[in-house]
Structures are given as C-alpha cells and as structure tokens.
Amino acid sequence: MDFVSKLKETLTSVLPIMVIVLILNFTVAPLGAKLVPFLVGGLLLVIGLSLFLAGTDIGMVPVGEKLGSVLAHRRSVPLMMAMGFIIGFAVTLAEPDVTVLANQVHSLNPAINQKVLIVMIALGLGAFVDFGLLRTVMGFPLKWLLIFFYLIVFALVMFIDQGMASICFDASGATTGPLAVPFLLALGLGVSASTKHDKDSSFGLTGVASIGPILAVAVMALLTRGAGGVAETAAAAAESHGFGTVLLSKLKDTAVGFGPLFLIILVLQFTMLHFPRIKFRKMLLGMLYSFLGIVIFLTGVDFGFVEVGRYLGQTISQNYSPVLVVCLALVFGGIVVFAEPAVWVLTHQVETVTAGRIKRMMVMVFICIGVALAVALAMIRILFNINYLWFVFIGVGASLLMTLFTPSLFTGIAFDSGGVASGPMSTTFLLSFAMGVSGSASMGFGLVGLIAISPLISIQILGLIFRVKERKGKKGAGDAASA
C-alpha cells in the first residue's frame, strides 16, 4: 500500500542488524574500508525492500487472489492444475534466491549444470503447487500429505551424500522467497476464500510447495551421483566489484528471471483475469516496483552485506571463542527474521484470516526463537563438524510427529513459515556469515535448510499451547455451568 509505511516497517526490521554490526565494528571486528559499502548496502536494502513490498501489494497479490478466485469459479480441476503449475514454474525462474543458490551449487559440483538445476527446482515447485491446490480444494488433511512426502524425501536423502543433502533443503528454503510467497499465499487464500472452506485450509500451500524443490534436487543428486562428487572448495574470496557492475548484473539477472512471469501474466490478463483498465495499469506498476525493488535489494545485499557477513564470521571465529560465535548466531538469527519480507506478509495474513485471534507478534516471536536456535545449532554443527542429516531427521521427524497433535490451522501456518523464514536475508547475510565461520563453502550449506525447519517446530509448539489453553478455557466454562 503506501510506500512510506512500508519504509517505516522495513527500517525497523533492518536497523537492528546494522546496529549490531556497528557495535561489532567498534569492539571485536573492525570493518575498516568495508564500513562505507556496508552502510550504503543497508540503505539500498531498506529502499529496495520497501519498494518491493509496495509493489507486491498492488501487483502480485491481486493477480494471485484474482487468479485463485477465477480458477475456483471456472470449476475445472484440470485448468486449475495447469495454471498452478505454469505460474509456480515461472515464479521460481524469477526468484532471485534460486539463481544465487544454483550458482553456488555449480561451483561446488561442476557436474550439475545450474540452468538444469533451476529448471528442476521450478518443475518440482510447480508440481507441488498442484498437490497443494488440490488438497485445498478437496479439503484433504494437510498432515497426511506432509508425512507421506517427507517420508519419500527421507528415503531419497539416505542415498545421496551429505553435501548434496544439505543443498536439497536449502533449495526448498530458497525457492519460497520474496516473490513466490506472496503469490502462493494469495493463490491459496483466493481458492479457499471463494470455496468457503473453513479457515484451516487457507494455509499450507507454501508448505506443500516447498517439498517439491527438495525432491527435485534429491533426484538430480541421485542421477549425477559419482559424476564428480562434491568438491571441497574453499569459500571463494569475496570479489569486490564496483557499484555499477553489481547493479548492472543484478538488473540483467532479475530481468531474465522476471521475463517469463511477466509474459504469462500478460497472457492471463487477456484470457482469464480481465482486470479493468485502471486496475491493470496499477498492477503493471506494481510489477515494475517489485522488479526494481528486487534489483535494488540484491544490489545492496551484494554490495555490502554479503562481504561483511563473511568477514565477521571469519574474524570472530578465528580470534574469539566458539561461545561468542554461537551467541552471535542466536542474535543474528532472531533479528534477521524480522527483516525477512515474506515473514511480514505471512504473519499479516495469519492475523487477518484468524480475525485477530492469533496475534501477529506472537507468531513473529515464535518464528524468531525457532530461527535463532536453528542458526545457533548450525554454527555448532560447523564448529564441531556434526553430520547434517541428524539435524534434519530429528527436526523434520519431530515436526511431522507434532502434526498429529497440533490444530490443523497451526500445522498449515507452521509449514508455510518454514519456507517463509528463509528468505533473501538468510540466504545472503547469514549464509555468508556461516561460510566465514566454516572457512569452506560446502559446510555453509544447510544453514538455510535448518532455518526453514525451525518454524515447523516452534509454530506447532505455539499451536499446542493454544490447544491446551482453549481446553482449559472450555473446561473452566463447563465447570462454571455445572456449578
């Protein structure tokens, strides 16, 4: 909506990170010449994020909602499946995080072509958007769908090596980034709003969709197994480019990604959406703002944030005790979530859909605690070299078990926040911090995946607390009535 209120929102979310980095600058890790790019980067980050959010509000969100309701009205399952797939596919191609991740994977294992990987991830997402939509319309219990597919994931992951396994989960976290999430949430809400299901089925589409990339990458890893293997490359020294070069390359990357999505939406406008003139113009402007916002955001991230993240990780882990690293990880983890645009979108929709019964801040706090612990755990894993799969098995296993007991609304929100918590802030700042700490690129992977798993547990705990409270309330009322 209005740009100024978005600006305020993002400023309050990015500022804490900047303050902490500044404190570190004057205490344990002086930044020197990196300080100015970092500050400029932070400024660009805030502007880009605000512009992007303002853009999705009038661009992607109306498209997703309208498409969802049009599809439900057409009452054609095949059409709905086809559209969900095509849009899911196109959105993933445009998602900047996926491109970043694919490039990192390619540098680790040259046997994997990054273009093929991106297409595989996009196919995986598209297919699972379909499963998610079908579930919403049919009202099939979310938990059984999740349990079924995660069991398949576990089975597949057993056969591939640790490095690739961690990339699987990272891919899922990266896919559900700032572009896909508003769209997926809107589509899910659109379909469920116009089918008048209970509120519980509004959420969960993002959660189901994010399984797709895991499976896609796992299959890729199985197919290319033995061909090259994961090379243990040292973290590439941060290349310092001029501001113009970074901006141009981001502009190009984002344009290539946005192209297909833009074309599809244009075609949709004349076939299914039929937005009236002014609304259409507004939607186009929204798309433009989102596009420019992403470019500015990524430029800011690359220009200052990544380098500083890596540098901080390196300096602090070399010169100070692991305790400080873990403590910092806790703080960073908690704060970065606040800066994640998709988390704002999700928590806002949670509050709206539940008509304020579930308070936004409560969801926020629980996601924060979860992510803070996850980032700290990831550091412990790096420092003590523990097998990644243990974390995944225990984490996902526990959250699947919990789905049996938590209210289904919370299961949906939990699995949605999973994909949502790991957005551009974690794939850039935190990932580079982890890489700095580990000193090698491959150990840094998996962090995004862990971040994505943590809300599954923390939000479901919130759900359990709610359930116990509601029972107590009911019981109390019952006692009063009988007395």
**Does 423 participate in binding another protein (rule CB under 8 A)?**
no
In whole angstroms, the minimum distance from the beta carbon of 274 to another protein comes to 8
Closer residue to another protein in complex, CB, 103/194: 194
Closer residue to another protein in complex, CB, 216/273: 273
Neighbours of 335 (CB within 10 A): 21
- Is residue 114 classed as helix, strand or coil in its secondary structure? helix
Closer residue to another protein in complex, CB, 20/288: 288
Q: Which of 149, 262, 275, 393 binds another protein (CB under 8 A)?
A: 275
**Does 62 participate in binding another protein (rule CB under 8 A)?**
yes
Closer residue to another protein in complex, CB, 48/463: 48
- Is residue 30 classed as helix, strand or coil in its secondary structure? coil
133 token code pair: 């939509």
Tell me how far apart the alpha carbons of residues 210 and 169 are, in angstroms, rounded to a whole number.
9
Q: Which of 18, 87, 137, 372 binds another protein (CB under 8 A)?
A: 137
| Of the candidates 257, 290, 310, 306, the residue with the CA atom closest to the CA atom of residue 425 | 306
Residues in 181-200 that interact with another protein by CB under 8 A:
193-197
| Of the candidates 406, 190, 463, 428, the residue with the CA atom closest to the CA atom of residue 294 | 428
**Does 276 participate in binding another protein (rule CB under 8 A)?**
yes
| Of the candidates 347, 309, 257, 329, the residue with the CA atom closest to the CA atom of residue 427 | 309
In whole angstroms, the minimum distance from the beta carbon of 69 to another protein comes to 6
**Does 361 participate in binding another protein (rule CB under 8 A)?**
no
Tell me how far apart the alpha carbons of residues 293 and 285 are, in angstroms, rounded to a whole number.
12
Which one of the spans 22-30, 137-145, 226-234, 370-378 is the region binding another protein (CB under 8 A)? Answer: 137-145
Tell me how far apart the alpha carbons of residues 402 and 335 are, in angstroms, rounded to a whole number.
26
Which one of the spans 54-62, 207-215, 309-317, 449-457 is the region binding another protein (CB under 8 A)? Answer: 54-62
The CA-atom distances, in angstroms, between 290 and each of 22, 347, 421 are 29, 20, 19
Closer residue to another protein in complex, CB, 13/192: 192
Q: Quick one: DSSP state of residue 229?
A: -
**Does 28 participate in binding another protein (rule CB under 8 A)?**
no
297 token code pair: 């955001």
**Does 282 participate in binding another protein (rule CB under 8 A)?**
yes
Tell me how far apart the alpha carbons of residues 325 and 314 are, in angstroms, rounded to a whole number.
10
Residues in 64-123 that interact with another protein by CB under 8 A:
65-66, 69, 72-73, 75, 77
Tell me how far apart the alpha carbons of residues 218 and 212 are, in angstroms, rounded to a whole number.
10
Closer residue to another protein in complex, CB, 78/244: 78
In whole angstroms, the minimum distance from the beta carbon of 355 to another protein comes to 10
- Is residue 375 classed as helix, strand or coil in its secondary structure? helix
In whole angstroms, the minimum distance from the beta carbon of 247 to another protein comes to 22
244 token code pair: 């113009």
Q: Which of 37, 212, 257, 286 binds another protein (CB under 8 A)?
A: 286
Closer residue to another protein in complex, CB, 103/195: 195
| Of the candidates 247, 101, 251, the residue with the CA atom closest to the CA atom of residue 168 | 101
**Does 33 participate in binding another protein (rule CB under 8 A)?**
no
In whole angstroms, the minimum distance from the beta carbon of 79 to another protein comes to 11
In whole angstroms, the minimum distance from the beta carbon of 2 to another protein comes to 5
Tell me the DSSP string of 164-227.
HHHHHHHHHHHHSSTTHHHHHHHHHHHHHHHTT--GGGTS-HHHHHTHHHHHHHHHHHHHTTTS
Contact assessment for residue 338 and residue 388, using Cβ atoms and an 8 Å cutoff: no
Which one of the spans 132-140, 290-298, 366-374, 378-386 is the region binding another protein (CB under 8 A)? Answer: 132-140
Which one of the spans 147-155, 166-174, 282-290, 415-423 is the region binding another protein (CB under 8 A)? Answer: 282-290
**Rule CB under 8 A: which residues touch another protein?**
1-3, 5, 54, 58, 62, 65-66, 69, 72-73, 75, 77, 137-139, 193-197, 275-279, 281-282, 285-286, 289, 352
